[in-house]
Amino acid sequence: MVRLIISLILLGLLTACTTSVLAPTRQLVEKAIVFELEKTQQQLSQQLDLDFQGFEIHRLSITQEQPLTIQNLPTYRVHGTYELTLKLPKRRLTQPQKPFEVYLQLQKEGKTWRLLVPEASGKDSKSVWRSYLIR
């Protein structure tokens, strides 16, 4: 009985260590959010002729990391909130508690991560993902 308990504890510790090593870092999540915001900012600037002068992210809070597999590679669906400050020519706009959801995928060699963005597709087809390298 004692061996069983010790074995379960060791198994739990090994699993916890493995998951934390492979899980995306806070900095990686922030880079993914910045990438998405820059992409959106470029589109809005062109369409609305706005003069964005940048943005800042503060108070990033990760509330959930859900491991899953997409295209046979380990992926994390990460949820949370952050505070966004938009810099405009004459003022700053701050949006507190802005929710986010990103999909981050560890590549085969285990050295790089990619941001996965679901692409709108037909009802009957498989999910299609766009993939962007996070640096």
Q: Retrieve residue 130's tokens.
A: 């766009």
Q: What is the pTM of this model?
A: 0.74
Q: Distances from the Cα of 97 to the Cαs of 36, 80, 81, 104, in angstroms? A: 17, 9, 5, 21
Give the tens place of pLDDT for each residue, 44-93: 766 776 667 778 899 999 999 999 999 999 999 999 999 999 887 888 88
**Residue given tokens 């800042």 in the structure block:** 56
Q: Cα–Cα distance between 120 and 52 in angstroms, integer? A: 28
* Mean pLDDT, residues 7-32: 69
The percent of residues above 90 in pLDDT, for the chain, comes to 47
The percent of residues above 70 in pLDDT, for the chain, comes to 76
Go through the chain and tell me how many residues it has.
135
